[in-house]
Amino acid sequence: MTRKIQIHQVDAFTRTHFTGNPAGVVLNADSLDDAEMLAIARELNNADTAFVSAPDGADHDLRVRFFTPRTEAAFVGHATLAVHAVLTRRDGPRARRQKGRTGIVEVGAAAGDAGFEIRLPRPPLASLVEGAELAEVCAALGIPMSQLDAACPPRIVGTGSTRLLIALTEGSALGGLAPDLARLAALSPRVGAPGYFVFSRRPAVADCTLESRMFCPALGISEDPVSGNAHGMLAVYLDSLGLLPTSRLRGAQGHHLGRPGRVDVELLGDARLALRGAACHVFETRIEI
């Protein structure tokens, strides 16, 4: 029997069409199996596609799974914003509890004009990357070792969907990165991180406290335009170094791809953090499978 599947496209961490990070949102995904979800994600060819299903318990309001064109991801910040932009457009604004592989997160309207807010546990800090291994990563990214920010030793953050955070002294150096994507993908299993989040605390763009780029070729994503999850990791890391005095940051990302976006992060007092950002609905369609 042919099934009609409802699909939305949303640009996240932006208020302007065709900027920020695009995500697919598939509603009523209960009937889809893993292979079908992966096939739809590959067909849409966004960095991530979110699949929304009905709750299976009283402690949450919906279940969401995330797929890149290559594999399933544990949690994705921009695609979560996209989900709740679609639900708010359809059903109106309200707080919702979203269940996924990493547990339950709370999503609702952010205060003022900030869009949506995702509250989730702070990710743990993992190992430092140094020595020959760091030199190999920098060579693959096209980063001269002299450009590294000594105040922020490169470190892996998170569990499951980890990222290697690498700080540069100047934001202007981000535009000169020339990553060898195949080499980065091959390094990921050994380094222990499928994504490389390169940032600077001295941004070359206005209206932010830092700017960044992120490369995840091991996940089938050459460059992720705007990552909420990685900015949350970065806030926790900078706070551990005493470099986040106000418990807040605003990150700029995506402008190197022509898709500028902004991510706001606040560290909360209950071992959680809040990711905040806007989202812009682009289109709605249906496919038959």
Q: What is the pTM assigned to this prediction?
A: 0.95
Instruction: Quote the CA–CA distance of 82 and 78 in Å, as a whole number.
Output: 6
Q: What is the mean pLDDT of residues 209-235?
A: 96
Closest by Cα among 113, 57, 112, 60 to 83: 60
Whether residues 60 and 134 share a domain: the answer is no
Rounded distance between C-alpha atoms, residue 226 and residue 10, angstroms: 13
CATH of the domain at 25: 3.10.310.10
Range of the domain at 266: 125-270
239 — pLDDT class (breaks 50, 70, 90): very high
Q: What is the dihedral of CA 238, 244, 248, 249, to 10 degrees?
A: -60
Bridge-partner residues for 24, per DSSP?
Answer: 9, 49
Q: Is the pLDDT of residue 155 over 90?
A: yes
Give dist(CA 286, CA 289) in Å, integer: 10
Q: Are residues 225 and 96 in the same domain?
A: no
Residue 138 DSSP SS3:
helix
pLDDT at position 220, please?
87
Average pLDDT value for residue range 72-94: 96
SS3 content of the chain, % helix, strand, coil (to 5): 25, 35, 35
Q: Do 137 and 163 fall into the same domain?
A: yes
79: pLDDT strictly greater than 90:
yes
* 81-100: average pLDDT: 97
pLDDT at 83 over 90: yes
Instruction: Indicate whether 1 pLDDT > 80.
Output: no
Say if residue 58 is in the same domain as residue 80: yes
Same domain (yes/no): 182, 280 = no
Number of domains, the chain: 2
Radius of gyration of the chain (CA): 18
pLDDT band at 286 (very low <50, low <70, confident <90, very high): very high
Same domain for 215 and 151: yes
Rounded-to-integer distance, Cα 233 and Cα 239, Å:
10
Average pLDDT over residues 159-187: 96
